[in-house]
Amino acid sequence: MESGAAIKDLKVQVTNRQILSIAMPITLAILIPQLNILTNSIFLGNSEQGTESLGNAGITGVFYLIFAVAGHGLNNGLQSVFSRYAGGDDTSAFKVILTQGIRISLQLAAAGILVTWFAAPFIFQQVADPKAYPQEMSFLRIRIWGLPFLYLFQMGNAFLVASLNSRRLILGFLVEAGVNILFDYLLIFGHWGFPEMGFNGAAVASVIAEVAGFITVFAVLSKPV
């Protein structure tokens, strides 16, 4: 986690290249949860319960995105704090900001998990098809466990952008997208000896992908610049 402290000058130059180097990773961070949902939908559309699974994926995907966007707002705030100190060539507070960010992210994720497990059933009973309701809740109660890792992944990205290491973000995005595609294929259809989990397989695949993205980003953070 010492990577930011090793950089002598964190001041941003006002050039198109510098602006794009900061903006593009932020854009990718927003797209990751939506790409996971899109990937799940593509594979589910080719499963035995294609039309039914796509409908269920739509409503559960929107529910999960509510929490993903909330986490993105939190990490925008953290990035602003990081950038304030970086612009003043003062990286001494980076460790404290990162530690506090981890604590707040985990607390917010815990709240999201509790809402999904205990409040979402009452919400979905009002809006979901009674036949689809058990499957949708089963999916969400698996899918929501990826939320802490998504928040920490986003927070690691915010740190890398603030420390002008935005190029190193690409590895995390590639790993998360690749792992999600792989495990969607393996767990939805039951290939290569994996269990055929159908709709729930998409949820497990997304959680595994978010864990992989989190591990990758924090492995990058642990390496010196």
Mean pLDDT of each 10-residue bin along the chain, 225 residues long: 46 63 67 74 67 72 84 78 71 77 89 92 81 86 92 82 70 85 86 83 89 88 66
pLDDT at 147: 92
- Using the structure block, give the residue that is written with the tokens 């960010």: 101
pLDDT at 84: 75
DSSP symbol at 10: -
The reported pTM is 0.80
pLDDT at 3: 44
Spatial neighbors of 66 by CB under 8 A, at least 6 apart, are none
Residue 161: closest CA among 15, 13, 24: 24
pLDDT at 110: 94
Neighbours of 168 (CB within 10 A): 20
Spatial neighbors of 79 by CB under 8 A, at least 6 apart, are 26, 158, 159, 161, 162
